[in-house]
Amino acid sequence: MENLIHMIGAKFNYIAYIILMMIGLYALIAKNNLVKKIIGMSIFQTSIILFYVSTAYKTGKAIPIVEHGHGAHSVIHATDYINPLPHVLMLTAIVVSVATLGVALALAIKVYRQYGTLEEDDINSQIRIQAGK
Amino acid sequence: MDIIYSAKPLIAILVSLFVIPILISSRSDNTREAWTFVAAILKFIIIASMAPLVLKGAQIQFTLFEVMPHLAIKLKVDSFGLLFALVSSPLWIITSVYSIGYMRTLKEHSQTRYYCYFAMSLSATIGVAFSANLLTLYLFYEMLSFATYPLVTHHQDQEARSSGRKYLLYILGSSIAFVLPAMLFIYIKTGTFEFVPQGFMAGHFTHGTLLVLLLMFVFGFAKAGIMPFHSWLPAAMVAPTPVSALLHAVAVVKVGVFCVARVITGVFGTKLLLSTDLNTVVCYIASFTIIAASLIALSQDGLKRRLAFSTIGQLSYIVLGVALLSPLAVTGGILHIAMHAFGKITLFFCAGAIFAASGIKNISDMVGIGKRMPITMTCFLIGSLSVIGLPPCGGFISKWYLVLGTLEAGKMFFLFVLLVSSLLNAAYFLPIVYRAFFCTDEESMFENTVNEVPTWCLVPLCITASISVILFFFPQPFLKLAHMTAQTLIGG
Amino acid sequence: MVQQLPALLIIVPLLTALVVAMASWISPRLCLPLTFSGLALSLAASIGVLMEVIAHGPVTYTMGGWNAPMGIVYVIDYLSSPILVVITSVAILNLISARKSVEESFPGKTGAFYSLYILFTTGMIGIVATGDAFNLYVLLEIAALTGYSLIGLGNDRAPLASLNYLFIGTIGASFYLLGVGYLYIATGTLNMADLARFMPQMADNSMVLFAFIICMTGLFIKMALFPMHGWLPNAYSFSSTAATGVIAPLTTKVMIYAMIRVGLYVFTPAYIFNTLHMSKAIVWVAIAAIVMGSLLALAQKSLLKMLTYIIVAEVGYMVGGFFLGNRMGITGATLHIINDAAMTLCLFMAAGAISYKLKDDSFASMKGLFRKMPVTMIGFGAGALAVIGIPPTCGFFSKWYLITGGMEAGQYGFVAALLFSSLVNAVLFFRIFEIAHFEPFADPHDHHHHGHSETVNEAPLSMVVPLLVVAAALIVLGIYSGDIVTKIIQSAIPAGIV
């Protein structure tokens, strides 16, 4: 039991991202409304961003901004700073997820114009009626 | 042995493919058919020009592409391949003459398509004959399956459709399901596909595996019509008669038998099969097919269907001869490819002539037809005699060698099979001829006036019938080629 | 010049995409020539790189002069160079073929279409060329987002199908990203070559194991490996044929390339085939994909739907071939990427021409098609023979390597599945040939004169010519498959694999 608590304490960031991810996945799969699905997708992507950023963190170290970097006389140790690379990567990932969100919403608008609803059940029943004709 | 490198075999194969664009674009029927003749005659000349070299014991080879490391599309003309090519290519000329008569008399539709696919089928047939390895053989074998499909389904009606289905299901299905995996398995174990006189399988496989592989080939080449993979052939009889004549009595079915023979001699090899006694299994399968097909033929009323079952039986003669693996039997089997071809094509030509002239398909309606079509029915008699194996027809010689071969191999059972089936052959052919000529006027279903088919149809069947007779007296060069093949393959 | 080719490969189409989008404001007529020249340059560059690779070995290009492992490198080696040529040629051929139907389906939106089209191609090229695991994710998403938009441009059910594809595709890509994250934690690098160097010490690291599973799952979703194929049939069959013509041949194939790249050059063969004992299980999944794809294809009633399920089966071929883990199997899978792209392109182009003329792609509408569109049907027939696997078309040879690989690995289930699917494909296509050849049925009493009334009504030349080019390519690829394998693919597979 103590081990478990210890593990949760040490790796809470992992647990948090997995919980978020599952929430997103649940919305993506189980929700009937297309916009809710899109929200789920966003949560899903954000959880991964969170995961990346949290892995960069080192307890008690400085943020990776080196003041007077060029003129400084003291030696810079990489271990003294939080790893900046995941943050940089996530900038790209955020751009990607925003773009995905944009495309998804655009498609949702197109679907709405066509069927007059965003509820998947309604759309499917309309499709079935059309196919039956 | 001399090996000559020459592109002649390739040209022989391609000549009929090159003519297809001309056939499609020709403006009138006459030019189209003229070009078919040009291609057919050219093909024959090229093939015949290779005969002197091969008869002297040389081999002509040509390598096209190396499609896989150490595995090429490769052509080889040896005595066996040449024999087969020499049988099919002149018959294409004759069949083209017949096609013109038949197709025009019946005013068939889509004749351009018909001539194009016919030309393509002949390319594939000669390709099989000249294949130097298993991969090339398979390539042309499949090409033939596809080229003949539009011919079988020429009438485009419901019957043609279901027959076409059956045709492809049997032929394509068995080749993909049996031949392809067997080939691959052999390639993995041996790393080669080249046909060599004593095969290349020895020492790589256990007894059981060999048996399975052998059966996969024998049944997988369903064009050979070995039971139970035979029923595509009667179904394919919905095709126009020239197709049945050339393709389903000569080209396609003989390709099947040729493939089986090539695999038995060039892949497995005599020594291996004799030492494991696996050839006897094939002999029994062939014997069963011979007897069963002859019995079924007895009960068929449609003339073309009866001929089809007769073909199934005769094909297994060839398989039996090759599988006996004694020099004389192999000679007989291979010779039978030629002898049966001329005899059976005559019979099909006659069946087509009867249909074109009178619209009759069933034997029971043919009582007294000999008085109306005396020349056709005389040729029918000659064809029947050749297929039964009676002198003075070519079929006698090949059966003679087959009988001697069974004695040489010391397997009396197969001698018995041959004799019984000859009797059955006589029983299903001779009554047709007898009833056609000898009947009272009341029984006769025809008026007593001569009314033959157009000359375009009549001439070819007279030619093939005469060739059947001539081959009895002058069986060269086929006999020589068959001897040479038996010698190189068996060493006897 | 030769050193800059890898950069040109990707930068030219990327910039063309922007130029096309802007040019469409000036005049929509400018878009097609611009797109064409951009792709043509890219094709030329890809052929140049292929020649260079064959002559002098792999080419590495460091973007902006930042060296690996810090910067992003583009590595064009024996594995990627042939795929690049395939991508650019598929894109350019389909562009020519799709012209008429683009003008008809998207009046006023041609600029958007062409811009997305070339951006999609850029993404595909990038995925293949990159040597950086994270960069691969970004390009994956560029290709995917443009793909969603291209599909979504279609009418009727296309937007909904595209949206569903987007949901699943995003999950797939995110899984891949997550896997890369774990790899980064474990090794501290994102460069593929660097990652591979760390791999031998990481053999029993659970983070690497997790990264492998999650990366592969992501890619499996993206390539529509059964049972994760649900998005594919609708997305491909409801979109416009102009878009499907490029998406269907490329997307799944490039994802399989990514799987092979990540498998061989990141996780290394020693790790995935020897340390892990998963490959057998994945081959069984592939077998299920082949069998189920074939069976589902049998159940379809329209041409495009049937073709999409054939793609599902073909994905099984390649995944199974790769996870056989021997040289023959991987050769077959790699060769099949090239061949299957050509085959799929051929079939979808023919389907495009057919539905352009008929405005319908159900089997019932294909009656008498051999008479109406003879040339299109020749192209379709060539594609069909290749998919069935009849020599000398290319489909036969890749199947050959795959089956050989299956036999060598003792995976007879895989061999049987391949043969089964060949037979089913034969049934599938001959069913269509029958309809196109036989129907409408003739009057049984007069079967000599029917059919002449229908006149030839062939698709426009801009569709027929590229189709015939691809059909011819199917045979050329088959004949030269020996050279392709010995000169290129054999060098692409690490020496350790027997």
Q: How many domains does chain A have?
A: 1
- Residues of C within 8 A of A45 (CB-CB) are 170, 174
Q: Does C69 touch chain A (CB under 8 A)?
A: no
The residue-averaged pLDDT of C345-351 equals 93
- Chain centroid to CA C273: 25
The residue-averaged pLDDT of C186-214 equals 88
Portion of chain C with pLDDT greater than 70, in percent: 96
- Residues of C within 8 A of A123 (CB-CB) are 160
Do you know the residue count of chain B?
Answer: 492
Residue B60 main-chain phi, psi, to 5 deg: -105, 130
- Contact between chains at B164 and C434 (C-beta distance less than 8 A): yes
CB of C357 within 8 A of CB of C374? Answer: no
- Contact between chains at A45 and C170 (C-beta distance less than 8 A): yes
Amino acid B105 reads T
Structure tokens at C121: 């191609």
Select from A23, A97, A110, A113 the residue whose CB has the most chain C CBs within 10 Å, as the one to mutate to test that interface: A110
Q: Of C310, C318, C315, C314, whose CA–CA distance to C221 is shortest?
A: C315
- Residues of C within 8 A of B142 (CB-CB) are 390-391
Is the pLDDT reported for residue C125 higher than 90?
yes
Q: Does C468 touch chain B (CB under 8 A)?
A: no
Do you know the residue count of chain A?
Answer: 133
Going from the C-alpha of C435 to that of each of B188, B431, C47, C385, C429, the distances in angstroms are: 40, 43, 41, 17, 10
Q: Does C150 touch chain B (CB under 8 A)?
A: no
B→C contacts (Cβ < 8 Å), by residue, are: 65-69, 71-73, 106-110, 135, 138-139, 142-143, 146, 150, 153, 155-158, 160-161, 164-165, 168, 172-173, 176-177, 180-181, 184-185, 187-188
Q: Do strands B59-68 and B3-5 pair parallel, antiparallel, or not at all (unpaired)?
A: parallel
CB of A110 within 8 A of CB of C152? Answer: yes
Cβ-nearest to C422 among B73, B155, B176: B176
Q: Of A95, B115, B168, whose CA–CA distance to C141 is shortest?
A: A95
Select from B65, B112, B184, B204 the residue whose CB has the most chain C CBs within 10 Å, as the one to mutate to test that interface: B184
- Contact between chains at C167 and A41 (C-beta distance less than 8 A): yes
Is the pLDDT reported for residue B452 higher than 80?
no
Does residue A69 lie in a domain region?
no
Mean pLDDT over each residue of chain B, to the nearest integer:
87
CB of C418 within 8 A of CB of C403? Answer: yes
Structure tokens at C387: 């998919």
Q: Which residue has the higher pLDDT, B458 or C216?
A: C216
CB of B8 within 8 A of CB of B50? Answer: yes
- Residues of A within 8 A of C172 (CB-CB) are none
Cβ-nearest to A28 among C137, C141, C167: C167
Is the pLDDT reported for residue C333 higher than 90?
yes
The residue-averaged pLDDT of A20-35 equals 92
pLDDT at C69: 72
Residue B194, classed as helix, strand or coil, is: strand
CA distance B380 to chain C (A): 28
pLDDT at C462: 87
- Contact between chains at A108 and C163 (C-beta distance less than 8 A): yes
pLDDT-based confidence at residue C451 (cuts at 50, 70, 90): very low
Does residue C392 lie in a domain region?
yes
Is the pLDDT reported for residue C450 higher than 50?
no
Q: Does C422 touch chain B (CB under 8 A)?
A: yes
Structure tokens at C37: 């020249």
Place of tokens 């000659």: B382
Mean pLDDT over each residue of chain C, to the nearest integer:
88
CB of C341 within 8 A of CB of C444? Answer: no
- Residues of A within 8 A of C230 (CB-CB) are none
The residue-averaged pLDDT of C245-256 equals 93
Place of tokens 């995996």: B181
Subunits next to C (3 or more Cβ pairs <8 Å) are A, B
Is the pLDDT reported for residue C401 higher than 80?
yes
**Domain that includes residue A50, residue range:** 2-60+81-132
- Residues of B within 8 A of C404 (CB-CB) are 184, 187-188
Is the pLDDT reported for residue B417 higher than 70?
yes
CB of B65 within 8 A of CB of B72? Answer: yes
The Cα A53–Cα C308 span in angstroms is: 39
The Cα B220–Cα B181 span in angstroms is: 10
The Cα B115–Cα B125 span in angstroms is: 15
pLDDT in tens, B195-243: 888 888 888 888 888 899 999 999 999 998 888 888 888 888 888 888 8
pLDDT at B201: 83
The Cα B336–Cα B328 span in angstroms is: 12
pLDDT at C446: 45
Residue B1, classed as helix, strand or coil, is: coil
The residue-averaged pLDDT of B59-70 equals 83
pLDDT-based confidence at residue C424 (cuts at 50, 70, 90): very high
Residue of A nearest to C146 (CA): A103
- Residues of C within 8 A of A93 (CB-CB) are 137, 177
pLDDT in tens, B87-116: 999 888 888 888 888 888 777 777 888 888
Does residue C471 lie in a domain region?
yes
Does residue A116 lie in a domain region?
yes
- Contact between chains at C437 and B153 (C-beta distance less than 8 A): yes
pLDDT at C94: 93
CB of B39 within 8 A of CB of B33? Answer: no
- Touch criterion met for B and A (3+ Cβ pairs within 8 Å): no
Does residue A65 lie in a domain region?
no
Q: How many domains does chain C have?
A: 1
- Residues of C within 8 A of B68 (CB-CB) are 397, 400, 481-482, 485
- Residues of A within 8 A of C185 (CB-CB) are 55
A→C contacts (Cβ < 8 Å), by residue, are: 25, 28, 34, 37, 41, 44-45, 48, 51-52, 55, 85-86, 89, 92-93, 96, 99-100, 103-104, 106-108, 110-111, 114, 123, 127
Select from C328, C438, C477 the residue whose CB has the most chain B CBs within 10 Å, as the one to mutate to test that interface: C438
- Contact between chains at C166 and A107 (C-beta distance less than 8 A): yes
The residue-averaged pLDDT of B151-180 equals 87
Structure tokens at C250: 């490329």
Is the pLDDT reported for residue A71 higher than 60?
no
The residue-averaged pLDDT of C134-142 equals 93
Is the pLDDT reported for residue B445 higher than 80?
no
Stretch (H or E) spanning B17? helix B8-25
Residue of C nearest to B184 (CA): C404
Is the pLDDT reported for residue B409 higher than 50?
yes
DSSP summary character for residue B238: G
CA distance C400 to chain B (A): 7
pLDDT at C258: 94
CB of B133 within 8 A of CB of B193? Answer: yes
CATH number for the domain including A33?
Answer: 1.10.287.3510
The residue-averaged pLDDT of B464-468 equals 90
Sheet holding B3-5, edge to edge: B3-5, B59-68, B71-77
Structure tokens at C497: 């694999």
Size of interface A-C (CB pairs under 8 A): 70
Residue of B nearest to C444 (CA): B157
The residue-averaged pLDDT of C336-360 equals 91
Going from the C-alpha of B386 to that of each of B249, B373, B395, B462, B465, the distances in angstroms are: 14, 20, 4, 14, 9
pLDDT at A70: 60
Does residue C486 lie in a domain region?
yes
**Domain that includes residue C494, residue range:** 281-290+314-442+451-498
CA distance A49 to chain C (A): 9
Burial class (CB in 10 A: 0-12, 13-18, 19+), B56: exposed
E strand map for C33-72: 59-62
CB of C402 within 8 A of CB of C418? Answer: yes
ipTM over 0.85: yes
Residue A62 main-chain phi, psi, to 5 deg: -80, 160
pLDDT-based confidence at residue C13 (cuts at 50, 70, 90): very high
pLDDT at C443: 42
Q: Where are the domains of chain B?
A: 3-490
Write down the pTM of the prediction: 0.88
Buried b vs exposed e over C105-136: b needs ≥16 C-beta within 10 Å?
bbeeebbbbbbbbbbbbbbbbbbbbbbbbbbb
pLDDT-based confidence at residue B30 (cuts at 50, 70, 90): confident
Q: Of B343, B322, B330, whose CA–CA distance to B481 is shortest?
A: B330
- Contact between chains at B158 and C444 (C-beta distance less than 8 A): yes
pLDDT at C329: 92
Best-predicted range by mean pLDDT (A127-131, B285-289, B373-377): B285-289
B126 CB contacts (<8 Å, ≥6 apart)? B12, B13, B16, B43, B47, B85, B88, B89
The Cα B240–Cα B154 span in angstroms is: 7
Q: C-alpha angle with apex C391: B209 to B133, nearest 5 degrees? A: 55
Q: C-alpha angle with apex C449: C445 to C451, nearest 5 degrees? A: 110
pLDDT at B85: 92
- Contact between chains at C438 and B68 (C-beta distance less than 8 A): no
- Contact between chains at A86 and C166 (C-beta distance less than 8 A): no
Going from the C-alpha of C489 to that of each of B54, C46, C80, C401, the distances in angstroms are: 41, 16, 10, 12
- Contact between chains at C450 and B108 (C-beta distance less than 8 A): no
pLDDT at A74: 66
- Residues of B within 8 A of C400 (CB-CB) are 68, 184
pLDDT at B290: 92
pLDDT at C448: 46
pLDDT at C62: 86
Residue B67, classed as helix, strand or coil, is: strand
Residue C442, classed as helix, strand or coil, is: coil
pLDDT-based confidence at residue A69 (cuts at 50, 70, 90): low
The Cα B86–Cα C115 span in angstroms is: 61
The residue-averaged pLDDT of C50-75 equals 84
Structure tokens at B280: 């006897």
Residue of A nearest to C156 (CA): A114
Portion of chain B with pLDDT greater than 90, in percent: 22
Residue of C nearest to A37 (CA): C167
